[in-house]
Amino acid sequence: MKRNPSILVIASSGGHLTQAMCAVSTVELELILVTNKNMLEDSPFARIHTIKDTQTNIGIHFLNTFSAARILLAERPRAIFSTGGPICLPFALLAKLTSTRFVYLDTMSRVVELSNSGKFIKRFGLFDSFLCQWQEIAEKNGAEYHGQAFDLGDNGYK
């Protein structure tokens, strides 16, 4: 079966997903989401997969690796994009093993240092592009900085 070229977006629900949706807002390929809780009714995603969330539970990360492999085999994305959290780690690992392009944007909510997922991905080189949303963190970690996913300014407040 011929698939549409697609981008796999990995983002935990809440802020990670909000940032991811801003960051992929100009992508015209089919978007497929992997998240931990699906609270979306109307979204730009053609399909949504859910996997278990964890910060440090190795067992869940191990099981998620199999889920990630299944999703990647089913979707065969052209590239993967993630804003974290830790649910992205098995995908980053498998992207490296399968030479799938992996673009990572560290979350805006970490203002003084990389997130734990960002540190892991950076340390083991599990990325093709690594972007930060705070200039100082980007400079300290040799990452790219192109601003934040959305504007924190006044935006016409009265």
Residues that bind another protein (CB under 8 A): 7, 13-19, 22-29, 37, 39-42, 53, 55, 78-79, 81, 101, 103, 105, 107-112, 115, 128-129, 131, 146-152, 154-158
Q: Least Å distance between CB 144 and another protein?
A: 8
90 versus 118: smaller Cβ distance to another protein: 118
Integer Cα distance of 13 and 38 in angstroms: 7
User: In which element (H, E) is residue 16 found?
Assistant: helix 15-23
Cα angle vertex 121, ends 120, 125, to 5°? Answer: 120
Q: How many of the other CB atoms lie within 10 Å of CB of 87?
A: 27
Nearer to another protein, 65 or 116 (CB): 116
Please check whether residue 13 is in contact with residue 29, taking contact to mean a CB–CB distance below 8 angstroms: no
To the nearest whole angstrom, how small is the minimum distance from the Cβ of residue 56 to another protein?
8
Rounded to a whole number of angstroms, the minimum distance from the CB of residue 66 to another protein is 22
CA distance linking residue 138 with residue 2, whole number of Å: 39
Q: Which is nearer to another protein, 13 or 65 (CB)?
A: 13
Q: Give the nearest distance from C-beta 156 to another protein in angstroms.
A: 6
Q: CA-CA distance, 119 to 84, in Å (whole number)?
A: 11
Both tokens of 151, joined, read 């504007």
17/92 with CB nearer another protein: 17
